[in-house]
Amino acid sequence: MARSGFSLAGLWRGRNMSQCVLEPRCAGKRWLVAGLGNPRLPGTRHSVGIAVLEQLAQRLGVAGTWARDSRCAADLTWAPLGDAQVVLLRPRRVMNANGRSVSRAAHLFGLTAEEVYLVHDELDKPLGKLALKMGGSSRGHNGVRSCITCLNSSAMPRLRVGIGRPTNPSEVQAHVLGCFTPEEQELLPLLLDRATDLILDHIQTRSQRPLTLLDTAAA
């Protein structure tokens, strides 16, 4: 996807290739989408938020343009979406500290909590189930809790991606930190596509009307 509609180059890398910044502010709205996860545990259920983010980058045609930003300890890229601008963020901190990366990026780009999307795994929904809600508690998710603490707000919209909860409570940690089974992996392409559709449709709708008119969306 060509990055048209912006008068200046939007994403550039510093001399040490460790920083990137978006400028200028686009004429339309700007949104930040953060895929919560642990960069040390790629491919696990706990990092499914990062998988969704990478699918978003593929869909928007910017999968090869990630740049590391040392100020927020994250990889960033961006793409136009209609008249809006979507910034994608992959934290380079562990899940429990994802909020530090997200809040720093929100500050750098002048965004409010309502303009920051969090994409994360959800134990209490079966694999294949998605839900997009506006704000609320962390529901026990440490990455979301970190974001709420660091942003000092619980207003962030969240795309919750179901990973299912094992029947035996003692297996929860291993389940969350484990990789998807071969059977589950067969379901992932469709799930990631649906998650991408849901969040892009939601952002496009929000870009056209005031935030106060929005309702919770689910799929």
- Sole residue written with tokens 């990062």: 50
Q: Tell me the longest C-alpha to C-alpha distance in the chain.
A: 55
Q: Give every CB contact of residue 79 below 8 A, 6+ residues apart in sequence.
A: 1, 3, 57, 60, 61, 62, 85, 86, 88
- The catalytically annotated residue of 46, 120, 141, 202 is 46
In the three-class reduction of DSSP (H, G, I as helix; E, B as strand; rest coil), residue 49 is classed as helix
What long-range pairs does 50-53 form, CB within 8 A, spacing at least 24? 50/90, 51/188, 51/192, 52/119, 52/159, 52/161, 52/192, 52/195, 52/196, 52/199, 53/88, 53/89, 53/90, 53/119
Q: Is 46 a catalytic residue?
A: yes
Catalytic residues: 46
